Structure 1
Amino acid sequence: MGEVRADRRAAGQLSEAAESELVQQCEEQFAQLEKLQNEIILCEPDICENHQEQSVSRLAATDAELKLWMSMQPSSLAANAEILLHAGKDEMLKLCSELEMVVSCCEAKRDKLRETKELEQKWLEEKKQVLLAANDHIERLRVEKEKYSEHNILLETKAKIQKMKAYQEQLMESLGDILEKHVPLPQDESTASKKKKNIPLKISEDLVSLSKILEVLMDKVMNTPHDPYVTIDHTFWPPYVEMLLRYGIAVRHQENNFKIRLETFF
């Protein structure tokens, strides 16, 4: 850039003869321009009422002048070599400055494209890794599918069902043990109470245990889900029913207090 400015300062210096010649040519061209302008003003027609015809005539004159200028060959105003060299240097320096700006813009755009390319390559590598992992997973599933036949899958399913049944039986046994230990049969409880307090309590022998009541409620829900209510009869001990209702294990029928069902836990 320093060289360009130095060249511009050097190009701005002309000899006195060249400078006077250039000034004289400028004055001649300005005088000729004033003469043509005066001729155009004198030749311009008066303003008429028909503006459309005036616009058409002006358009035709402009078109003719345009064709004339296009047919003319351009010629330099000055014949002095020093002036032409000065003008050429000035244009070249101006062009060099514009080209430097273009180069700067191109370099900035190149750096941006390079950064974008690096990001796109990184994204592409990540997608390739994901694709490889997916292909490996698919291949592993295919091998496993070939390894395990339908017979093996059936045997595995049956084993899982047996395991779940055994686990269910274990849970039911644990529930029965807990109920038997903490909530004994009404007959046992009444007998012990009668021995302690010496109060004669008469309890029906048809009463069922709490585990039996829960089993009846669960069977009713599983067998007839559209009508899960069970009618309370003399075999249901009222304290058991009250305990189930109080702790949210069972709920009463909205219209019939003698019907209960197991609470929905899902």
Structure 2
Amino acid sequence: MESLVNEIQDLQTQCDSLQEKIGESVKETFPSKRAEGIKTVDDIIQLRNQYLTAELSVRNQDASTKKISTHPAVVSSTFTKELDELISSMAELMQVVNAQMENLEKSIENKASMIQQQNEIHDAMQQQLAANTESNQNFDDFVKSLESKQAKHSLDIQTTVKKMNEFLDSHFPVPSTKQQKLAGTNVNVYEMLSQKRFVSMKQLYNDLLNLAVEKPDGPYLVIDDQHWPPYVDLLLRFGIAVRHPGDINRIKLANSYI
């Protein structure tokens, strides 16, 4: 009987050694950060170890109360049976451990895949953010450039209009009575006392220009008694203004002068 107990104790020692190897193998396979998942495997091994320890204790107690045959054949048969049972139990335990390890490996692979996808999404978002920032900067620069060009264009227009008005005031003033007579205009006594009957060339041109800007669909100016005919003819003759195709008393600026 002592021999059987010693053999069972040796088997217990081998089980402890096997448990340590399994634990080391699990730790090498799964880093410490996965300890939470491995805890289940350790619990199974510990419970199995407790079971074997309790079984050994019971057998030791039974050895003192029961008389076991010391016949070699009986001892060998008993030991072989118990060893087979232990091997079967350990095989079942290894199956559980392997299943747990496979599940953990799949879980780790899934988490690694999710992390990789998140990193790819993060990189794509960073690239898009950088592109949007660059695009916004380019757009701001473009707007500033347009505003600068617009300001310069407005200044050029103001300068041109000012020079044009000065030129028209200097060379095409409000027609005097003498000019009206030379042009064959009938001037009565009241008209001779005032030179405000006709508008200046500057006023005529500005009226045409304002109509072209404010009413592009109907930029025609009606010619009446306040417009001096020689000035109107001058604009028409040099192609600065054109008549309405259906009304000779209406004129507008030519497109090239707008």
Tell whether the structures are fold-level matches, with TM greater than 0.5: no
TM-score by length of 1: 0.38
TM-score by length of 2: 0.39
